[in-house]
Amino acid sequence: MTSRRRAAGARIRPGGARQRAIRTAANRGAPTLDFPAQTPYDEYVGAETLHRLQRTVTDIPEERAFLVTTQIMELYFGLLRAEWLLVQRLLDGGDAAGATAVLSRSTRYFDGLNAAWGALGWMTPAQFNSFRDDLGEGSGFQSAMYRHLEFLLGNKSAALVRPHRRSPRVHGELLAALDRPSLYDSVLALLARRGLAVPPPGDPRAEYVPSQAVEDAWVEIYARGPGDDLHDLGEALTDVSERFTDWRYRHLMSVRRTMGAKPGTGGSSGVSWLERSLRREVFPELWSARTRM
């Protein structure tokens, strides 16, 4: 299969089995040590740039761990967004099996996201408070990429786009995401095309409201059993919902552990705000339908 190279990849020289065999023979099995410019690894990964991004605001050692963990989560958010947008395109094209495969692999990324919270489990309130004030009003609540995930999952809110209105590109992308159907909207549109009695789509900007008709549809789908493409899609969606809820719960517990019930740096009530967010279910009918199965 021929790979599709982006323009940005032009600086990386492609290779093949023959070139690798020649290099291995010339090096007598040792790795190549001389390159005409930057190492190919750094050309691809951008490691030098990545490591320059840890710009702490204090000289307190614990702050670096907090910053790196946050940046890792941002990268995972971007990866999940790309995967879920691919899922949406597959659903819109009628490929339920393909969408299920991508959803299933996306749940693996939550292993890294949830492990990131564990990496901060050693931080005591005293250690966090030693640099917390220096963060000013910075808060994970302001993450645009996280907001993209919430919008894709159907947790829409026009008000939550406002913090980004001073960043035209980011603000425009979030407004476009607010106006687009959510991933779950695409799921329900597929169910409707398959003849299931689900209600027509509503305002894409509105937060999703559970429907008895959608619950009935999932009960009907689950009666078909594993192997049916819509049944398997439902299970993959449930996995995503469960893992996303796990991440939100770990976020809540991490905040409780490091700062208790203090107000959040971004102006929220902190723990109580996170508790309210945790109560908002993702793909709610997939959970309520289980009582009737």
**Closest C-alpha among 153, 206, 155, 159 to residue 179:** 206
List Cα–Cα distances, 61 to 122, 123, 124, 190, in angstroms: 13, 11, 13, 51
Q: Select from 283, 274, 7 the least CA-distant residue to 140.
A: 274
Nearest to 171 by CA among 142, 203, 139: 142
The answer to whether the annotation marks 265 as part of a ligand binding site is yes
Q: Is 171 exposed, middle or buried (0-12, 13-18, 19+ CB in 10 A)?
A: middle
- Cα dihedral 154, 194, 199, 172 sign: positive
Residues 283, 234: contact at Cβ < 8 Å? no
Residue 132 annotated as lining a ligand binding site:
yes
96 contacts 187 by C-beta, under 8 angstroms: no
Binding-site members for heme are 251
Binding-site members are 132, 251, 265
Binding-site members for substrate are 132, 265
